[in-house]
Amino acid sequence: MIADALAGGFTEAPVQSARAFREVLEAMARPGTIRRVVGALPPAPVSVAAGVVLLTLCDGTTPLYLAGAADCAAMRDWVAFHIGAPLVTAEYAAFALGRWEDLNPITRFRVGQPDYPDRSATLIVEQDKLTNQGPALTGPGIETANWLNLPETAAFRANRALFPLGFDTIFTAGDQIAGLPRSTRVEAI
């Protein structure tokens, strides 16, 4: 195991993970709002925000899929030491990390079963930046409308049609996160 993989975790896990969890919760509860998280320093090219989300939500019982450039030796070691999540293929993943083009085709991911809709994947989608410009988001947790620079709309509209099944999405860029749960309606553009 390369030594750098041993650095970059939470230094004070109980406090940092509780704060980060609150931010992730807020992001998912108010889809499209952009929030900041701190505390992780994962190996390149993974963002601070994606590292924080992984440290906060994943453990040895959440199979993880690393896509594209995120699937590098340094990152695999980092996950092994700090998180312990088993690395799996897309079909078995509870969480998946990568850029949108690397995660596609997204129909590979689990969307849950009618009796257990929670047995679905959460996608952590890395972007260059997050801005409140783009298709309008409406639905639970949004008073009128929010806007977010989504990589596309068709996939999220199709996902919304599966409700209560479907995957959930967390967008990350630098130290910013934004949530897009399966319940959110995405404007067609």
Partner 1 sequence: MYVAVKGGERAIDNAHAWLAEERRGDPSVPELSVAQIREQMALAVNRVMAEGSLYDPDLAALAIKQARGDLIEAVFLIRAYRTTLPRFAASSAVETAAMAVDRRISATFKDLPGGQVLGPTFDYTHRLLDFALLAEGLPAPAPGTPAKPQPVPHVTGFLNRDGLIEDAPHSEAVPPDLTREPMELPADRALRLQAITRGDEGFILSLAYSTQRGYGRTHAFVGELRIGQVAVEVDIPELGFAVEIGEVELTECETVNQFKGSRTEPPQFTRGYGLVFGQSERKAIAMSLVDRALRWKELGEDFTGAPAQDEEFVLMHADNIQATGFLEHIKLPHYVDFQAELELVRKLRAEALALQEAAE
Partner 2 sequence: MTDALNDDRKGWMSLLAKAPPARLAALMPDLPDHALLRAPEVGAVMVRGRTGATGAPFNLGEMTVTRCSVRLAEGAVGHAWVQGRDKAHALRAAVVDALMQTPESAGLHACVLAPLAAEAELARAVRAGKAAATKVDFFTMVRGEDA
- Radius of gyration (Cα) for the chain, nearest Å? 16
Kindly tell me which of 12 and 91 has the beta carbon lying closer to partner 2. 12
Q: Which does 133 bind (CB under 5 to 8 A by kind): partner 2, partner 1, none?
A: none
Q: Which does 80 bind (CB under 5 to 8 A by kind): partner 2, partner 1, none?
A: partner 1
Residue 7 interacts with partner 1 (CB under 8 A): yes or no: no
Q: Which does 61 bind (CB under 5 to 8 A by kind): partner 1, partner 2, none?
A: partner 1
For position 105 contacting partner 1 by CB under 8 A, the verdict is no
Q: How many CA within 13 A on the CB side of residue 165? A: 12
- What mask of x and - would describe binding to partner 1 in positions 129 to 158, judged by CB under 8 A? ------------------------------
